[in-house]
Amino acid sequence: MLSLGGGDIVVAAETGGVWHIDGVYEARPLSDDWHFPDVVCLAHGPLPGRNILAGCHGGLYETDPSAHDPLRAWQPIPLPPGVEWVYRIVVLREPERVVLATDSGIWWSRRAAGGGLNPRYAWRQSFGLSANTFTALALSESRGPSGTFNSSVIAGVRDGGAGSAGLFVGTWQGRDLSFGPATVTGLRIGELARLHNFSVATCADRPRRAYAVAAGPDWTIGRLLRSDDGGAHWVPCSNHFESVALETSTRKISQGTSPQVDGKRRLVCTRTTPMSWPSAGRRHCFR
């Protein structure tokens, strides 16, 4: 779901395309003519106006903000080679860059300011990662060698297993987006390799503060992790979710500042298909 302001939202359905819902709860379908309407994620695009990207099973679409009705003016974008699923999209506005978490690694492309749509995408695969499936992606900030803060990207894997690092952090180095494994401490021996289906988010007003959630072997929430340095180092949160089921569908952590309960911050989790999460409540609050 994306907010458009004024009470308007755009909603994606896992098997029902994209919908626009206005401030008086009138809904209209936006993707009746799509070949790939199974939508996994949405993101605001890099162009001004109503520029939206939709990642799907089999396709990637973008609105044309210069059209009379941009929400009706979707155009398909060619996927990177070997990609079938787009699980997450993050966007940098300056300089204009679009990053995809897919079933074949992490891909990114520059965008020329003021340019058109499809001709402006030239996908490049990131360095330092295998072509595994990545279900987690978030923008963050990392400290550079001169003490300045630079834009970076946190990525998380879908499948765990022996030797899995789970979480990675990437920075732009010249013309390349290069990733390295994050450092996760405070877990039991072998626990990190058993975590899978990671999801990550950073705080909108504090991009160096990040949270990650991952499923355990039994599909309950395995661990909730926190980073204060843009995803380079992670530690478990003090309050652990117990017996909250995760199904095979992708969940994500809502981006932004968490609401407060009794003066404490509370994590808010959502998923890409309609369902009700168990309330975090007091037992799951954390500082």
Residue 210 has pLDDT above 80, yes or no: yes
Sequence ranges of the chain with CATH classification 2.130.10.10: 1-125
Residue 184 has pLDDT above 60, yes or no: yes
> What is the per-residue pLDDT across 80-98, written as a single tens digit (0 to 9) for each?
999 999 999 999 877 789 9
At residue 14's C-alpha, the angle toward residues 11 and 16, to 5°, is 70
User: What integer is the mean pLDDT of 217-240?
Assistant: 88
CB-based contact 64:49 (threshold 8 Å): no
Q: Which of 59-68, 191-200, 239-248 has the lowest mean pLDDT?
A: 239-248
Predicted confidence at residue 123, as pLDDT, reads 93
Amino acid at 111: R
> What is the per-residue pLDDT across 31-51, written as a single tens digit (0 to 9) for each?
989 999 999 999 998 888 889
> What is the per-residue pLDDT across 57-67, written as a single tens digit (0 to 9) for each?
999 999 988 88
CB-based contact 190:177 (threshold 8 Å): no
Q: What is the pTM of this model?
A: 0.80
Predicted confidence at residue 272, as pLDDT, reads 37
Predicted confidence at residue 112, as pLDDT, reads 55
> What is the per-residue pLDDT across 262-285, written as a single tens digit (0 to 9) for each?
343 444 444 333 333 343 333 332
Predicted confidence at residue 137, as pLDDT, reads 96
Six token digits for residue 7:
């009470």
SS3 letters for the chain? CEEEECCEEEEEECCCEEEEECCCCCEEECCCCCCCCCEEEEEECCCCCCCEEEEEECCEEEECCCCCCHHHCEEECCCCCCCCEEEEEEEECCCCEEEEEEECEEEEEECCCCCCCHHHCCCEECECCCCCCEEEEEEEEEECCCCCEEEEEEEEECCCCCCCCCEEEEEEECCEEEEEECEECCCCCCHHHHCEEEEEEEECCEEEEEEEEEECCCCEEEEEEEECCCCCEEEECCCCCCCCECCCCCEEECCCCCCEECCEECCCEEECCCCCCCCCCHHHCEC
> What is the per-residue pLDDT across 116-127, written as a single tens digit (0 to 9) for each?
555 578 899 999
CB-based contact 140:133 (threshold 8 Å): no
Predicted confidence at residue 257, as pLDDT, reads 39
How high does pLDDT run on average in the chain? 81
Q: Which CATH number fits domain 1-125: 2.60.40.10, 2.130.10.10, 1.10.340.30, 3.60.10.10?
A: 2.130.10.10
Residue 178's pLDDT band, with cuts at 50, 70 and 90, is very high
Predicted confidence at residue 265, as pLDDT, reads 40
